[in-house]
Structure 1
Amino acid sequence: MTNDARLPEKAFPVSWDQFHRDCRALAWRLNGQGPFDAIVAITRGGLVPSAIVARELGVRIIDTISVVSYGEFKQLENLDVLKDIDQHLAARDPKSILIVDDLVDTGKTAQLVRQRLPGAHLATVYAKPMGRPQVDTYVTEVSQDTWIYFPWDLGYSFQPPIRGPGG
């Protein structure tokens, strides 16, 4: 860890362009699966990738499940479901439902959502090793000790070179 105990040592900043490319790559991988007629986005992180995947795959129905799993740069012990899946959607054939999130970390959130929609296809843009077994499709794996900074978390500012000012 760095001097600030909340911040991880490894950082993986993702730009809007890169995230869009990665979401489209996820859609390419999902294109041969399904067919899916509904998406459940795990909010908040799953909102943007769900919109991109829905556009690419022609899916019009998007619902959300809101699960709080992070606070102060760390995963929380207990998950809190703030908004659950619409019961009409949950009654559909689970094989026609695609669950989308930005990242699977420990897999706790994915496991909770899978319990609510057993048989649905779960896809994430990024996956860490602990959570990867919960995911059916993902694009990029990152190490467990890496913190991904998504574009909605970042602002434009100078970034010093890795080797410092002298290069």
Structure 2
Amino acid sequence: MVFDDGATSTQNDPRENLSWQGFGDAMRELARQVRDSGWMPDLIVAVARGGLLPAGAVSYALGVKAMGTMNVEFYTDVAETLPEPVLLPPLMDVSALDGKRVLVVDDVADSGKTLKMVMQLIRERGLSLDGETSVQVDARSMVIYEKSRSIIKPDYVWKDTDLWINFPWSVLPPVTTENTSN
């Protein structure tokens, strides 16, 4: 079954399946949400890896060229995670974010732990003292999907779901010598 939003599902496969067309439509809708809010980012930060393609797409849709990346590992397999998200090198220099409007983009707020950690890092480490005046980062978050169990409420969301999500860029296994058929 294909839904109007570009996502598909079947009775035998209780998953949210996002198509490439659905992804494009979702990113345009999310860009409109940002525009309609009256807030425009100076910089977009992708939460790698899942947020890389969404961040790139929304940066084009909003006309924002400045981008950064936070590399975070949390999921180790389908529905398997580390106890807590871990920041991976190379680390982004968040000290350059002082006084900026920053849009943090990820694919999904599942538990919300990754997004919460990145938002805290940007808000806390992006705070600098210039003499006696502090200049805080104005950070907002965006995801394609939000799950009801998320511990953080993203500012911009395309769709709510509690299903496992198959994204078009990650549904197939990596192309490796072990996976010769792909």
Q: TM-score, normalised by structure 1?
A: 0.79
- 1:79 paired residue number: 85
The structural deviation recorded for 1:126 is: 0.7
2-structure distance, mates of 1:93, 1:108: 25
Q: Deviations over 1:112-131 (max 9, x none)?
A: 01111224001111100122
2-structure distance, mates of 1:122, 1:132: 13
SS in 1 for 2:41: coil
1-structure distance, mates of 2:170, 2:122: 29
Structure 2 residue 125 is the aligned partner of structure 1 residue 108: no
Q: Deviations over 1:45-83 (max 9, x none)?
A: 111111111111110111000100101212321221013
Q: How many residues align?
A: 143
Query: What are the residue-to-residue correspondences of 1:121-160 with 2, within 5 Å?
Result: 121-131=140-150, 133-143=152-162, 146-154=163-171
- 1:54 paired residue number: 59
- 1:117 paired residue number: 122
Structure 2 residue 30 is the aligned partner of structure 1 residue 26: yes
Structure 2 residues not aligned, in runs of 5+: 1-12, 124-137, 173-182
- What's the RMSD between the two structures over aligned residues? 1.7
- The structure with higher relative contact order (CA 8 Å, sep 6+) is 1
The structural deviation recorded for 1:32 is: 2.7
2-structure distance, mates of 1:36, 1:78: 28
Query: What are the residue-to-residue correspondences of 1:62-101 with 2, within 5 Å?
Result: 62-73=67-78, 74-83=80-89, 84-90=91-97, 92-94=98-100, 96-101=101-106
- Alpha carbons 1:49, 1:101 under 8 Å: kept: yes
- Alpha carbons 1:127, 1:140 under 8 Å: kept: yes
1-structure distance, mates of 2:43, 2:147: 25
1-structure distance, mates of 2:31, 2:151: 18
Residue type of the partner of 2:19?
S
The structural deviation recorded for 1:132 is: 6.3
Residue type of the partner of 1:40?
V
- Alpha carbons 2:146, 2:157 under 8 Å: kept: yes
- Alpha carbons 1:63, 1:86 under 8 Å: kept: no
Residue type of the partner of 1:111?
K
- 2:129 paired residue number: none
Structure 1 residues not aligned, in runs of 5+: 1-8, 156-167
